[in-house]
Amino acid sequence: MKENFEKLREQLGNATFENYVGLQDGYSEMAYQMVAHVLTLGYATMLAGLLYFVLTINWVAPKYRMSSILSGVVMVSAFLLLYVQSVNWETAFEFNTEEGRYFLAEGNRADLFNNGYRYLNWLIDVPMLLFQILFVITLTKSSMSSVRNQFWFSGAGMILTGYVGQYYEVTDLTNFAIWGAISTVFFFHILWLMRKVINEGKEGIPADAASTLDSIWWLFLIAWMLYPGAYLMPYMGGIGLDGAFFNETGVVARQITYTIADVASKVIYGVLLTVVAQKLSAAEGFDYVKNNS
């Protein structure tokens, strides 16, 4: 691949590594289809999740319902943007009958493939997901408005710097690393703050609700750590064009990673918050099943 790289770089400019692979080696049927399927699974999960969150709003006491509403907001925006991302994959590459592989499409309506749709989706989702937990837990020490503002500031900072960085993933490794590092600083601040919020939230609540909050912490930590992994995916198998992942394997691995992370950090996270809210509601005497029997 090396000989042609400079020529490719001229042709594609700042394009993502999905496009370099699609122009140079192309994708096997299996690799191409796996990405198409996993992207479709992603947006279908979001629309299905929307139904769940809307239909279960009244299962929790009124003061917890904003959490379900914000999960719904996240589902709508994620559904639309993941749908567009999926269409982007399908229009960016086309099957070449001679070669038996998928290559970058040419001509009419052929955009290059770009993960930026995901990043700008997160600009809505990340502040909402972080805000959402503040409607379920009760802060014992911190001020609600201070935590919210810190979440929003670092959430937006993390996304915007990561968004800029991903444009350089093939063409400028220095910029890619610098923007990624700045984004990571914001990410660590969010992790630290979330740990604090969950610690405060566990105080004085029933043990089973506190235990679900602990599960939410581990889910949050693991799911959100997948995103920097996906950012670095082209170089996970070694820096450079000969790295084990700078090929269709890396592309498939990245989209699978993104989808697992999206389902975990948006849908499962929202469901677990609803579970905590149901336990707290019951402890406060609000029981949807009994009330409506």
* Least separation in angstroms between CB 198 and a copy of itself: 23
Closest CA to 248 of 91, 120, 113, 82: 113
Find the binder of a copy of itself among 1, 5, 54, 173 (CB under 8 A): 54
Instruction: With contacts defined by CB under 8 A, name the span among 35-43, 136-144, 153-161, 181-189 that binds a copy of itself.
Output: 35-43
Is residue 81 within the footprint of a copy of itself (CB under 8 A)? Answer: yes
* Least separation in angstroms between CB 248 and a copy of itself: 12
Nearest-angstrom CA–CA distance, 35 and 79: 17
Is residue 114 within the footprint of a copy of itself (CB under 8 A)? Answer: yes
* Least separation in angstroms between CB 278 and a copy of itself: 11
What's the one-letter identity of residue 20? Y
Q: Measured from the CB atom, is 93 or 217 closer to a copy of itself?
A: 93
Is residue 43 within the footprint of a copy of itself (CB under 8 A)? Answer: yes
Find the binder of a copy of itself among 4, 5, 111, 238 (CB under 8 A): 111
Q: What residues from 236 to 255 belong to the interface with a copy of itself (CB under 8 A)?
A: none
* Least separation in angstroms between CB 242 and a copy of itself: 23
Q: Measured from the CB atom, is 38 or 233 closer to a copy of itself?
A: 38
Asked whether the CA dihedral 108, 117, 249, 259 is positive or negative, the reply is negative
* Least separation in angstroms between CB 258 and a copy of itself: 14
* Least separation in angstroms between CB 191 and a copy of itself: 25
Residue appearing with tokens 């948006």:
266
Is residue 28 within the footprint of a copy of itself (CB under 8 A)? Answer: yes
* Least separation in angstroms between CB 76 and a copy of itself: 4
Instruction: With contacts defined by CB under 8 A, name the span among 79-87, 210-218, 224-232, 272-280 that binds a copy of itself.
Output: 79-87
Q: What residues from 83 to 102 belong to the interface with a copy of itself (CB under 8 A)?
A: 84, 90-91, 94-95, 97-98, 100-101
Residue appearing with tokens 């009124």:
62
Is residue 29 within the footprint of a copy of itself (CB under 8 A)? Answer: yes
Nearest-angstrom CA–CA distance, 147 and 79: 28
Contact (CB, 8 A) for 257 and 115: no
Nearest-angstrom CA–CA distance, 88 and 92: 6
Return the structure tokens found at 102: 């998928």
* Least separation in angstroms between CB 158 and a copy of itself: 16
# binding residues, a copy of itself (CB under 8 A): 74
Nearest-angstrom CA–CA distance, 265 and 126: 10
Q: Measured from the CB atom, is 36 or 191 closer to a copy of itself?
A: 36
Is residue 63 within the footprint of a copy of itself (CB under 8 A)? Answer: yes
Asked whether the CA dihedral 242, 114, 267, 214 is positive or negative, the reply is positive
Nearest-angstrom CA–CA distance, 23 and 105: 9
Nearest-angstrom CA–CA distance, 22 and 156: 31
What's the one-letter identity of residue 203? E
Contact (CB, 8 A) for 158 and 187: yes
Q: Please report the beta strands in 75-185, taking only residues with DSSP state E, as ranges in sequence order.
A: 93-96, 101-104
What's the one-letter identity of residue 49? G
Q: What residues from 145 to 204 belong to the interface with a copy of itself (CB under 8 A)?
A: 167
Is residue 119 within the footprint of a copy of itself (CB under 8 A)? Answer: yes
Contact (CB, 8 A) for 115 and 170: no
